[in-house]
A and B are shown apart, each in its own frame.
Chain A
């Protein structure tokens, strides 16, 4: 089984450096294989690879699709979607520095 979630990127600069690091770090805490994409039909990128996630350069307003496959897939997909929905726990005033 694969669990899929999606979330809107609301961060002013998109999935940029600091949000990418947060996202990847959280992804690494789960055992499941986790992939992300900006379209439902892919291409799907390894969410645990900081280099690949940053290279996606996901812009503000994009929808991030998250899919997880493994023992903790439900928890992983929800936790990552929640992080995006919370705007990576950053205040808007810090966004410019990200």
Chain B
């Protein structure tokens, strides 16, 4: 069995902490523990939103040398994730990818692919295979 430490990690970024946590639960229950999963959601005041700081921390929690795939919901989740990746900087930034995929389905698909030890590019491609063209 592959070790979680060697597989691509998954980060879930939603405006809602409930959506983010629920998505992470689905990944853990459906795919298992071979993949590191971290989530963040909500603004620091307790409302809906995303925070660059929280996204950076989630990336740290999910980090493995194989990299991290990020699943986002709407607008700010994506732009703040891009900002978080930029602030993390190289060399790690090159091993972080934001997937253009639906957050729940994409997270499950990406984690399934990651659980088999696939590289980041394959994990992202699997999540994005779901998206309408």
Contacts and interface: CB of A to CB of B under 8 A. Distances in A.
A50 B109 contact: yes
Given A25-B115, A28-B116, A50-B113, A17 B130 contact: no
A38 to B, nearest CB: 21
Interface string B69-93: 0000000000000000000000000
Contact of A25 (B29, B116, B130): B116
Nearest to A22: B30
- Classify the interface of chain B: helix, strand, loop or mixed: helix
Contacts of A54: 109
B109 to A, nearest CB: 5
A18 interface: yes
A24 B31 CA distance: 10
Interface in A18-37: 18, 21, 24-25, 28-29
- Classify the interface of chain A: helix, strand, loop or mixed: helix
Interface string A66-77: 000000000000
A20 B31 CA distance: 10
Nearest to A97: B29
Interface residues of B, number: 13
B116 A29 contact: yes
Interface string A4-19: 0000000000000110
B33 to A, nearest CB: 12
B23 interface: no
B116 A51 contact: no
B24 interface: no
Nearest to B34: A25
B112 A50 contact: yes
Contacts of B32: 25
Interface of B: 29-32, 108-109, 112-113, 115-116, 126, 129-130
15 contacts: A17-B30, A18-B29, A21-B31, A21-B108, A24-B112, A25-B31, A25-B32, A28-B116, A48-B116, A49-B126, A50-B108, A50-B109, A50-B113, A51-B109, A51-B129
